[in-house]
Amino acid sequence: MREIKHFINGAYVGSASGRTFADRSPTDNRQIAVVHEAGRDEVDAAVRAARAALAGPWGRLTVAERVERLYAVADGINARFDEFLEAECLDTGKPYSLARHVDIPRGAANFKVFADMVKNVATESFTMATPDGAGALNYALRRPKGVIGVISPWNLPLLLMTWKVGPALACGNTVVVKPSEETPLTTALLGEVMNAAGIPAGVYNVIHGFGPESAGAFLTEHPGVDAITFTGETRTGTAIMKAAAVGVRDVSFELGGKNPAVVFADCDFDAAIEGTLRSAFSNCGQVCLGTERVYVERPLFERFVAALKEGAERLRPGRPDDPQTTLGPLVSQEHRAKVLGYYAKAVEQGATVVTGGEPFVMEGPLAEGCWVKPTIWTGLADDAACVREEIFGPCCHVRPFDSEEEAVRLANDTPYGLAAAVWTGNLGRAHRMAATLDAGIVWINSWFLRDLRTPFGGSKQSGIGREGGVHSLEFYTELKNVCVKL
């Protein structure tokens, strides 16, 4: 059995209290690790180590030296690709075929992309006139913000954690990471890679535990943390924002969504089906950018629902390392109970279950896992729970619409605003839709096509701030203006 300890000041350490918790595989509910739970003392040690490292060798590196080491981190992940792959799939149950192409390579790429970004970024400068005619020169300097608290979720553990740690370190900060209690393995393993890549002790620290009254809350409440970057549920974001208000610390939030797809009758039908199947069901529907509401122009509605049903029924649940597997389990028994609760509620509220709506009955050890069937509903009212609330499972509701105006109204009728997908062959309409949809990210005739230099984040209750490319600089650095009288 693996034993997962905290990673503080370059070394793995257990909890002084001896408190631990079990990490289970969602594939078969087997315990895969004993994880140490941090108390206030371990969190304090991690924050102190991060603070000290700011003034240590890390703070004295040139940008070029920092960039070189971040490249070494990316190379280190790739060199141990199979270990990261196995650990990620053990924790999440996701198919190797998915993690091999998304989670692990993107986890490594996050270090290179942001290293390149800091290497190439310019700062602004303004010359100004002065009464004596000599003038003055203003120029901006970017300085690291300090100790960054990173709190990450379980759906794409390595990818979403490095999406924050990459830019934080590229900008010269140090970090204390609290991974999700459901998926601690790859965040823990990254400590070994950091040491091997020559990242000084104290720059990357990891503490394990839960949210409220545990490591998550202790970290966000710690006065030694200068800013907090968080990906997770909107409700958790509210709690973290309250903690961050003490000491007026900055936050960057990537939160929940209830993302729409709008499918017009003039779309490329096969592409729209393929994209919607991926957006609703990949990673077992546990993708923040995933589609849970599909609006289809009425002439296409019946045909679209039939093709989506066929695609959903083709998905094959199974062990992560089985190459035939195209659908993993949900992350935990608790999350499965929540998703099945929505499956029941949909029926209570009058849905037609086109497919799914129940657990998968699996055989052998997998019978104990967190399996649910991909589910498609039609016929729900616009205010039904399954149309309003984020479910975060492999399910979507499909509803017909009759005009572009109606489609925009329906798509925007949500407190969230993370992502939207539009499928149409009409260029003018595509641009009109992109401009009017309330979302931080709009995909036209695609989904999850990501250029890491572009702004990423949500509007409304889906987040605060944008990360990605130079936009990450806004959160991970302090911008200082220097005015020189000439």
Distance CA 225, CA 188 (A): 20
Write phi, then psi, for 403 (nearest 5 degrees): -150, 160
Q: CB-wise, 283 or 325, nearer to ligand NAD?
A: 283
Minimum Å gap between C-beta 264 and ligand NAD is 26
Token digits for 287? 């993708």
Closest of 109, 128, 93 to residue 283, by C-alpha: 93
The answer to whether 254 is a known catalytic residue is yes
- The answer to whether the CB of 107 falls within 8 A of the CB of 186 is yes
Minimum Å gap between C-beta 177 and ligand NAD is 9
Minimum Å gap between C-beta 70 and ligand NAD is 22
Distance CA 325, CA 54 (A): 45
Q: CB-wise, 159 or 473, nearer to ligand NAD?
A: 159
| Catalytic one of 42, 181, 254, 297 | 254
The residue ranges that bind ligand NAD (CB under 6 A) are 151-155, 160, 178, 180-181, 210-212, 216-217, 220, 231-233, 236, 239-240, 254-257, 288, 390, 392, 418, 458, 462-463
Minimum Å gap between C-beta 90 and ligand NAD is 17
Closest of 311, 239, 238 to residue 271, by C-alpha: 311
How would you label 348-381 residue by residue, b for 16+ Cβ within 10 Å and e otherwise?
ebebebbbbbebbebeeebebbbbbbbbbbbebe
Q: CB-wise, 255 or 442, nearer to ligand NAD?
A: 255
List of residues 6+ apart from 194 with CB closer than 8 A? 10, 73, 76, 203, 204
List of residues 6+ apart from 152 with CB closer than 8 A? 160, 161, 164, 177, 178, 179, 180, 187, 230, 231, 232
Distance CA 228, CA 155 (A): 19
Closest of 263, 315, 305 to residue 285, by C-alpha: 315
Minimum Å gap between C-beta 170 and ligand NAD is 19
Distance CA 102, CA 260 (A): 22
Catalytic residues: 254
